[in-house]
Structure 1
Amino acid sequence: MNSARRCSALLSQMSRGGSATRTPAAAAAHAGRGGASPRLNPSGAVGPVPAPACPMGGGSSSGGGRLFGTLARALNSTPMTQPVPYLEESPDHDLEGDLAEVDPHQLLRECEQALQRRPARPHRDLVRPVSTAPCSHDNGPLVRVLQWNILAQALGEGKDGFIRCPPEALNWHERKYLILEEILTYQPDILCLQEVDHYYDTFQPIMASLGYHGSFLAKPWSPCLDVEQNNGPDGCALFFRCSRFTLQASAHLRLSAMLLPTNQVAIVQTLQCQLTGRQLCVAVTHLKARSGWERLRSAQGADLLQSLRSITSQRSGPWGASSGPIPSIVCGDFNAVPSEDVYRRFSSSPLGLNSAYKLLSSDGQTEPAYTSWKVRPCGESCSTLDYIWYSQGALSVDRLLDIPTEEQIGPQRLPSYHYPSDHLSLLCDFSFREEPRRLM
């Protein structure tokens, strides 16, 4: 089956139950927007349009496990088995090795076709930090990392109570297209996700068909399981592009606090760049939510940092000599504002970590005003909770995806018809710094 037909077959599983026709005005906007300008509703006016009633969506997660059942069987010659959780070293099953890749551009076009009745994501620029000189790329091509809490479907519909978000905007039948559209638009080399409750029926087969290796680790007591007709527990997922990296080691961690296991997890993987041979340690996590749990978050962060120090402490250089710690990138929804202790732990860690999004500020020292902005019955919450930490001695930041303005986010806040999650995606292009020359 050729790439275009594979894309159509893949997305046909996602398209049952509803279709729409692009109006001439919308078609003109689509031709010129490049994925950036607002989609138009059928009358030609900019703004959200209620999603059509869809038998497989209906505002419920029910049937979510069936959406990609046929696709998963087609993509995988062996059954997808969930990895044994909470082992310090958990081998990842290589289910993607023999898959024929689909065309991401074709898949993106079909996502846009499915979303033609919704307003587009407002444009976000990739900007260069003020204090950073353009990268020469002498040490290899850029490594693009995307971090995102995508909002678990069961929580969005069943627990979170977003009082300004229309229920139709949370319909999984279309919301998943918005998530995929964002990923396909930026095509990261490394993708770190939290609140993933559709890993095996959606993200694993889709990302595998695009040439990514995936790993997933569920929370042991996921709140999704309290929601009727849930799609299983939510957890963290980490994907990397197989054409760029090879997996050298993988650790699935259940984070502890005061020596007691908690409900939060992390995936830590050591990758090797196929183009440069450089090693990179990547971690994804999601710390405890809610105010009043600051000490627990701090303890969880300390536990993760201790594991990272152990994992990155040694790497092999030429002739087996140690060449220093492995550079690290740590992505996650920390559920912590910059004034919290867990933030200070990471910024002062011996790993030499810096928060990439501070570099958007004029002084390079200030986090964005928000990465999450939502309205619940208890009130409005606008705060920075999500971070991309990196080893500033070994990695440099070339570009960052900017933060939407209040006007772009709109009065509904997050999520909405054009933002599928209550968290914004973060994206950073990294390059390796030149390694210091060593005496022979």
Structure 2
Amino acid sequence: MAAATMDTMGTADTEDVEADTDGCIGWAAVVVVLLVVTAATLTPTALSAASSRAHNTNEGHLPWVFDETAKLELERVDSGMGLASLTPVTPRKRGAGSSTIRITTAGGKEESLEWLASSPIRGAGSPMPPDATRSPAASSTSLPPASPDDDGDSDDDGDDSPHATSEWSGVDLSHMTLRHLAPSLGTYSRIVELDISHNLLQSVSPHVFAGLHHLKVLNLSHNLLSNVQDGWVALTSLRVLNLAHNHIQYAPFDLGSLYALKSLNLTANPVSNVAQELLAKTDNSIVKYLRDVAPPPPAPPLRKLVTSPSVPPPTAAEPASFTVFCYNVLCDAYATEQMYPHTPTWALDWEFRKSLILNEILNMQADIICLQELQMKEFDNWLQHELLAYGYKGVFKAKSRVRTMHPEKAVLVDGCATFYRTATFTLEAEDDVEFSAMAMAEPSLRASEDAFNRLLTRDNIALILTLRSNADGHVVVVSNTHVHFDPKYADVKVIQVQMLLEATASKVEALTEATGTKPYAVVCGDFNSLPESGVYKLLKTGFLKASHEDMLGYSYGSLSKTGIKHRLSLNSAYASILNEELPFTNYTPLFKGVIDYIWVDSELVTEAVLEGLTNEEARKGIALPNAHHPSDHIPLACKIRIE
């Protein structure tokens, strides 16, 4: 399932921004930079001289703000005036030669400032409209100063900009006859609402706003815009975009990347590539349309296996080896527009996605295939038959809730599937693990109130296959799992992984005792846990203190007394080759991180791993899934050598 609903991620922001999208929105003030051509450090201290709440004015003087050290330049359309140089002076009472700027702080307080131009300027310009001083204090939008990453975005906000600590939340630059926007606007990363309506802008590049990571409302209506450029994909927090009453003839497909947008207003524009009935709408219908009709990017090259000089050379002339493939395929039931609003509707369709999934599997030609989030009906009716034609057999285990469901509903439950190439391996045994049932069988866990309330109600499972090599008889015990997703249950994840490792170790030990030869263990799946988690530490080191922070202080019977441990010796396949994990295995608009792993018996040698995706490739569709990647996860694979 999407990591946006799991670890450290939070759900998508569903806040609706109430705004008048065709008029002046009462704003706040970091303001100035939009007017300036050179960057200036703008802080509340620099604006310490503030008067009472702004009121209507028809004086028509130029509004601007600057600090005490910078000399700023403002380009403005006025009769007889081109570029005016301004220097800062002390604020004074309203009068000839002064200008007014309206400021609203994050706390909703509205202030007005008067500034005096040191140089005379010809042409008073347009007066402020009667409603220009409407207070935005009633707005629900507010931001604390300098709090990092409070927009829910996992990527770097760029809030280390000089103006990131500004407490202002909005800017009103309407009715100023502006025709250009300064690039330095993007340094004011805390702006939430920006009104540049009723000006003379003929072209706007979204890159000007790229640094405004908190921007939710942008009003560009009543300008002279005929050209709206690409680049909107960076404005991931935008909720309202008003482009009404311009001269826009073509709506770029890039507007379809604004997946969080609640309102796009293109009314009163001669747009030719959008139907009139859609243009009349001011919700997100146009966004969805542009998203779905946009041509997909070129297909990416096939990912390759990569190795490392640190891999030891084989000791045998022709060493035995096999490959393992691990992939969370994204269950059809979870692939909804609500969960993945950035993905075109056709790219979420299961019939489209399953052909890409099959291609991913067949391109790797792995000997062992471990899948998560595959629905029972897709295993029964589709995938096992498709892969049988390519020489694979498989075993499926649904999540444990399937036992309580009507058969018609049960077939929709997802689970884990493990396939093996029959030319390489023979199936010796199959075992499944239901974590809740395993916990019930353990007296100390069954008696634990925390285990009963937190662990026993989860339906996660694992599948363990014992495979014997057709070539030399070596045995591999392969465990495939999908651990609980919820970040509030880090303790449950640790205990589930401990039980998986306990079951795997018991299988290895039983086979060793029965045959006199120790089989090799491979453990893989979607662990829903980052490399800094307790789950990762347990897998890597074999032990986790009961007091570890991921246990959240809950008690789990004897495990809380002795610590959480396992008897296997495992290495991460990817860390063995890359000296670290991939940058990400799951990539959604709200989360990017590593949560999928292949863990290999320390007596085996990982020779190569399948390379990951670059950020650029993943972002071609904003995030995953997209036109070329059918899941929000990427597949992992490795080549393993037996010495």
Instruction: Give the TM-score category using the shorter length.
Output: 0.5 to 0.7
Question: Relative to 1, partners in 2 of residues 1:120 and 1:135: Cα closer, same or farther, differing over 3 Å?
Answer: farther
How high is the TM-score relative to the length of structure 2? 0.45
Q: Which residue of 2 aligns with 1:126?
A: 305
1:234 pairs with 2:414: yes
2:628 to 415, 418, 426: 418
Q: Indicate the structure whose relative CO is greater, using CA pairs within 8 Å and at least 6 residues apart.
A: 1
- What runs of 5+ residues in structure 2 fail to find an aligned partner? 1-252, 257-294, 440-444, 447-451, 543-566
Cα displacement string for residues 14-61 of structure 1 (whole angstroms, at most 9, x for unaligned residues): xxxxxxxxxxxxxxxxxxxxxxxxxxxxxxxxx99x9xxxxxxxxxxx
RMSD: 2.8
Paired position in structure 2 for 1:430: 640
TM-superposition CA deviations, 1:155-212 (whole Å, max 9, x none) = 1137x61121111111122211101111111111000000001111111111122221
User: Deviation at 1:311?
Assistant: 0.3
Query: In structure 2, what is the equivalent of residue 66 of structure 1?
Result: none
Look up the match of 1:178. Answer: 356
> How far 1:249 sits from its partner (Å)?
1.4
- In the alignment, what sits opposite 1:12? none
- Give the match for residue 409 of structure 1: 618
User: Is 2:582 the partner of 1:368?
Assistant: yes
Offset at 1:248?
1.2
The structural deviation recorded for 1:230 is 9.4
Deviations 1:260-318 (A, max 9, x none): 5431011101111010111110010000002111000000011111111110014359x
Cα distance in 2, alignment partners of residues 246 and 147 from structure 1:
19
| Counterpart AA for 1:312 | V
The 1-side partners of 2:501 and 2:353 are apart by: 34
Q: Tell me the residue number matched to 1:249.
A: 429
Letter in 2 for 1:271: L
Q: Quick one: distance in 2 between partners of 1:152 and 1:127?
A: 29
* Counterpart in the other structure of 1:81: none
After superposition, the Cα gap between the structure-2 partners of 1:134 and 1:199, relative to the gap in structure 1 and judged at 3 Å, is same
Q: Distance in 2 between matches of 1:409 and 1:241?
A: 30
Q: What does residue range 305-384 of structure 1 map to in structure 2 within 5 Å?
A: 305-315=501-511, 322-323=516-517, 325-349=518-542, 350-361=567-578, 364=579, 366-375=580-589, 380-384=590-594
Q: How does 1:177-216 map to 2 (within 5 A)?
A: 177-197=355-375, 198-216=378-396
TM-fit CA distance, 1:120: 2.6
Question: In the superposition, relative to structure 1, how do residues 138 and 315 fare at CA in structure 2: closer, same or farther (>3 Å)?
Answer: farther
Distance verdict in 2 for CA 1:414–1:231, change over 3 Å = farther
Distance, in Å, in 2 between the alignment partners of 1:220 and 1:229 is: 13
Percent identity over paired residues: 31
Partners of 1:129 and 1:231 lie apart in 2 by 43
SS at match of 1:205: helix
Deviations 1:212-249 (A, max 9, x none): 11100111237xx99x9996110000000111111111
Q: Could you say what secondary structure the match of 1:339 adopts?
A: coil
Partner of 1:396: 605
Question: 5+ unaligned residues in a row in structure 1: which ranges?
Answer: 1-46, 51-115, 434-440
Q: 1:173 to 1:305 in 2, by over 3 A?
A: same
Q: Supply the distance in 2 between the matched residues of 1:405 and 1:416 (Cα, whole angstroms).
A: 14
Which segment drifts farther, 286-295 or 130-139?
130-139
User: CA 1:185 to 1:321, structure 2 compared with 1: closer, same or farther past 3 Å?
Assistant: closer
> How far did 1:340 drift?
1.3
Larger gyration radius, structure 1 or structure 2: 2
Q: Distance in 2 between matches of 1:200 and 1:373?
A: 29
Q: Which residue of 2 aligns with 1:99?
A: none
* TM, length-normalised to structure 1: 0.65
Task: Determine helix, strand or coil for the equivalent of 1:177.
Answer: helix
- What is the aligned partner in structure 2 of residue 386 from structure 1? 596
